[in-house]
Amino acid sequence: MAPYFFTSESVTEGHPDKVADQVSDAILDAILEKDEMARVACETMTATGLVFVAGQITTECYVDIPQIVRSVLRDIGYTRAKFGFDCDTCSVVTSIEEQSPDIALGVDQALEVKTGEITVEQELGAGDQGMMFGYA
């Protein structure tokens, strides 16, 4: 086997990735609270004075994404420009579209449904994958 280089990143409180994850999680939670069958692929990026939320969301409900963003920032404590970010004056930009039909092909039904090898747990497909690491 050829050698390879493997890295992982761990960030701490206040890092933009942590803020972005909280925003995306809050949007997902708000949507699933109203539509448990929603499909949400939501990504968030932050920069000084700016939050950008983009992705593909298929749902029957409406959530106020800018309001959710501002609420999360407020809960974290970003309430004044002197803190580096102001939840009430920052720009919130969204670019959300419906889930791609190509992705829906894999998510609407799992491969096991299509091949007849089905259990209840296998009915739903997955449109993404994740690699999880935990550090104590």
Report the 3 state secondary structure along 88-128.
CCCEEEEEEECCCHHHHHHHHCCHHHHHCCCCHHHCCCCCC
Domain ranges of the chain: 16-99
Identify the pLDDT of residue 63.
97
The CATH code of the domain at 16-99 is 3.30.300.10
pLDDT attached to residue 124: 58
- What is the per-residue pLDDT across 82-105, written as a single tens digit (0 to 9) for each? 988 899 999 999 999 988 777 766
pLDDT at 44: 96
Residue 61: alpha-carbon gap to chain centroid: 17
- Token pair belonging to 40: 């949400």
Q: Given this model, what pLDDT does residue 29 score?
A: 96
* Burial bucket for residue 23 (CB in 10 Å: 0-12, 13-18, 19+): buried
Query: What type of residue is 91?
Result: S
**What pLDDT does residue 83 have?**
85
Residues in the chain, pLDDT under 50:
none
Return the pLDDT at 100: 77
pLDDT at 84: 81
Q: Alpha carbon of 13 to those of 38, 76, 122, 127: distances in Å?
A: 30, 10, 36, 29
Coil, helix or strand at residue 42: strand
- The verdict on pTM exceeding 0.85 is no
